[in-house]
């Protein structure tokens, strides 16, 4: 008899990240992974260099300095913060800790493609619910809740839609869920939404809400993989018991602490994103494309159909530009385009205008 993997593992479809190369192009403009066009702040770069000299020293296991910095910047309780290898790991913690074979995990049809993977990793059953016009519909989520439901995984703002569920509706959903069902608010893009806390106030006042955040997008540290979560102290205690003690290196911790404290850099990046997002959205609409208002650092451009989207993608690639096909997210007729700097936005507009006029 051969060894057999745990239930659910062979149901996992391997995650596909954004492309980073185009045949025949030595240098490409990569707008497929929602990365910060300005990169990490100089303060974080300096912290990385300084921390590299101490790479022979084991990092602290409690992440106390980083948790304190996050708490100071966001006005939170550091004892209710957990840090992980990207917010993905925090999502893995909560699914592993609270779901298993026979349980169900709800996610929406256009949510992060890692959600069904995480459910299968835990041996649970992913339950997909429909959205309404590319927006989360809380009535559909609540209708899907059964006695087997353990978690609801919700991306807000949505990826790849960029749409935002208002805070009042988040509170309504949290209040309507049974107390033994955990609402996980994946707020990887919330900083770009302007003034929303991503559910941190809900997590502060309710025992069954977890908010996850990342350093990969706004802070430009995607290559280092750092994220964090905020929840009731009792839940954080459970998650910490399955966290590897040295899951974050000294270099990761130093870079993240410097980045979160660099509020001037944050404002610079948010201003650039807001300006170029508006510019890109307006130009795409002038080209006759359907584009919802985005609350993230990308826009979802919807074409007449899959064939037109493929043709536009080919035109962009011919111009050395990589964007994201999102058929796997339920949008075969669309392209997700990361908001770049002014030059990058101009290149996208020029390439698509030439394609449209050809």
Q: Which of 6-15, 235-244, 340-349 has the lowest mean pLDDT?
A: 6-15
Reported as a single tens digit per residue, the pLDDT across 232-243 is 999 999 999 999
Mean pLDDT of 24-38: 91
pTM, two decimals, is 0.93
| CB neighbour list of residue 10: distance below 8 Å, 6 or more residues apart | none
pLDDT above 70 for 12: no
Reported as a single tens digit per residue, the pLDDT across 48-102 is 999 999 999 999 999 999 999 999 999 999 999 999 999 999 999 999 999 999 9
pLDDT at residue 98, rounded to an integer = 98
Q: In which band, very low, low, confident or very high, does the pLDDT at 4 lie, cut at 50, 70 and 90?
A: confident
pLDDT at residue 267, rounded to an integer = 97
Q: Is the dihedral of CA 25, 28, 31, 32 positive or negative?
A: positive
pLDDT at residue 17, rounded to an integer = 67
Q: Which of 42, 43, 78 is nearest to 63 (CA)?
A: 78
Reduced 3-state DSSP string for the chain: CCCCCCCCHHHCCCCCCCCCCECCECCCEECCCCCCCCCCCHHHHHHHHHHHCCCCCCCCCCCHHHHHHHHHHHCCCHHHEEEECHHHHHHHHHHHHHCCCCCEEEEECCCCCHHHHHHHHCCCEEEEECCECCECCHHHHHHHCCCCEEEEEEECCCCCCCCCCCHHHHHHHHHHCCCCCEEEEECCCHHHHCCCCCCHHHHHHCCCEEEEEECCCCCCCCCCCCEEEECCHHHHHHHHHHCCCCCCCHHHHHHHHHHHHCHHHHHHHHHHHHHHHHHHHHHHHHCCCEECCCCCCEEEEECCCHHHHHHHHHHHHHCCEECEEEHHHCEEEEEEEECCCHHHHHHHHHHHHHHHHC
Mean pLDDT of 279-294: 98
pLDDT above 80 for 270: yes
pLDDT above 80 for 131: yes
pLDDT at residue 324, rounded to an integer = 96
Q: In which band, very low, low, confident or very high, does the pLDDT at 6 lie, cut at 50, 70 and 90?
A: confident
Average pLDDT, the chain: 95
pLDDT at residue 7, rounded to an integer = 76
Which domains are delineated in the chain?
9-39+264-357 (3.90.1150.10), 42-261 (3.40.640.10)
pLDDT at residue 10, rounded to an integer = 72
pLDDT above 80 for 26: no
pLDDT above 80 for 1: no
pLDDT at residue 20, rounded to an integer = 67
């Amino acid at each position: 008899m051969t060894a057999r993997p745990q239930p659910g593992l062979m149901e996992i479809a391997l995650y596909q990240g954004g492309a980073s190369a185009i045949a025949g192009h030595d240098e490409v403009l990569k707008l497929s992974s929602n990365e910060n066009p300005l990169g990490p702040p100089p303060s974080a770069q300096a912290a990385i260099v300084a921390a590299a000299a101490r790479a022979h020293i084991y990092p602290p296991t409690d992440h106390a300095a980083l948790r304190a910095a996050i708490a100071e910047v966001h006005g939170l309780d550091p004892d209710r913060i957990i840090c992980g290898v990207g917010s993905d790991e925090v999502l893995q913690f909560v699914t592993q800790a609270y779901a298993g074979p026979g349980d169900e995990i709800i996610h929406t049809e256009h949510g992060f493609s890692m959600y069904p993977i995480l459910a299968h990793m835990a041996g649970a059953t992913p339950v997909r619910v429909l959205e309404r016009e590319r927006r989360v519909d809380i009535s559909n989520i609540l209708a899907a809740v059964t006695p087997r439901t353990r978690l609801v995984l919700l991306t807000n703002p949505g990826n790849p839609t960029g749409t935002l569920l208002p805070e009042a509706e988040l509170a309504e959903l949290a209040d309507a869920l049974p107390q033994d069902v955990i609402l996980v608010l994946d707020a990887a893009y919330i900083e770009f939404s302007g003034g929303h806390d991503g559910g941190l106030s809900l997590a502060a006042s309710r025992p069954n809400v977890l908010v996850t955040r990342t350093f990969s997008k706004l802070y430009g540290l995607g290559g280092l993989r750092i994220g964090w979560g905020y929840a009731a102290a009792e839940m954080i205690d459970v998650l910490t018991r399955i966290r590897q003690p040295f899951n974050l290196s000294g270099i990761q911790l130093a870079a993240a602490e410097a980045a979160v404290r660099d509020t001037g850099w944050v404002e610079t990046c948010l201003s650039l994103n807001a300006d170029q997002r508006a510019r890109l959205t307006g130009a795409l609409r002038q080209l006759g494309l359907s584009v919802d208002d985005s609350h993230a650092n990308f826009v979802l451009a919807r074409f007449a159909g899959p064939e037109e989207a493929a043709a536009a993608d080919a035109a962009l690639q011919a111009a050395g530009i990589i964007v994201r096909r999102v058929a796997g997210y339920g949008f075969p007729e669309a392209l997700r385009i990361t908001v770049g700097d002014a030059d990058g936005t101009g290149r996208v507009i020029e390439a698509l205008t030439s394609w449209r006029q050809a």
